[in-house]
Amino acid sequence: MMKAELISCLGTDLTVVNAARVSFDKESEWEVNHSVRKELSAKDAALICYLAKHDHFTPFTHCMITLRETVPIFVARQRFKHTIGFTYNEVSRRYVDDTPEFYLPDLWRFKADNVKQGSHYTGLTSQEVNGKLRDKEEANGLIMSPEEIYDDCLKTYKQLLSIGVCAEQARMVLPQSMYTSYYVTGSLSAFARAYKLRIDKHAQREIQELAEKWNAIIKDLYPVSWEALTDGK
């Protein structure tokens, strides 16, 4: 399961509007009513749509979002490829030696024949696909199931620690399916760019699931800007 938790955010849709209008030394007109959240006018919303449509991304960079994401290492490594507009701080197993958890998919997908990388879903039920995986394991003479491999890795990791091996070396035996956790801070424009790439049907399904988490959080924080930036995807 991919997890994303909102830690903090900065700015609103109105921030985007005023960041754009400052070019003319203007601000959106709105009633000053203590700390009550101000609603955008139709003119403000139209400006946001114009900015997004014509790739005026800088006004959207003044809104910032910090999430804590918890995903398997192989998903995190794809996530960290998004560097422009993002900063990351990850849990380090040089310092942490608690019991790790591992990701095990409900569904094992077949390799796609028409692409160099990736997978596809044939329409079989999860049970049928997993059954075929077990048959393939037996046919190829695989020694252990993924669950058994995880169990052995965890036992070896704990044994290494118990005899005094340092955590920064003991972690070498842990698989890419191990969950990791990190803080990620990025601008609204950076999240939108990453989202459009990772929600695409050609992206790996696991990172599509993470992108769905971004959408669930951010669409409520910046409803007009997010829809304009992501084309309502």
Q: Which residues are catalytic?
A: 198
C-alpha to C-alpha distance for 183 and 167, rounded to whole angstroms: 22
- Amino acid symbol at 82: H
C-alpha to C-alpha distance for 190 and 31, rounded to whole angstroms: 31
C-alpha to C-alpha distance for 197 and 208, rounded to whole angstroms: 9
Say which residues have a Cβ less than 8 Å from residue 185's Cβ, sequence separation at least 6: 64, 65, 66, 67, 86, 87
In 11-111 the beta strands, taken as DSSP E runs, fall at 64-72, 86-90, 110-111
Secondary structure of residue 86 in the 3-state scheme: strand
Contact 18, 27 (CB under 8 A): yes
Give one word for 96, left, alpha or beta, with left for phi > 0 and alpha for psi -120 to 50.
Answer: beta
- Amino acid symbol at 59: P
C-alpha to C-alpha distance for 120 and 110, rounded to whole angstroms: 6
Six-digit token string for 126: 């999860």
Provide the CB-side half-sphere exposure for 62 (13 A, CA): 14
C-alpha to C-alpha distance for 82 and 61, rounded to whole angstroms: 15
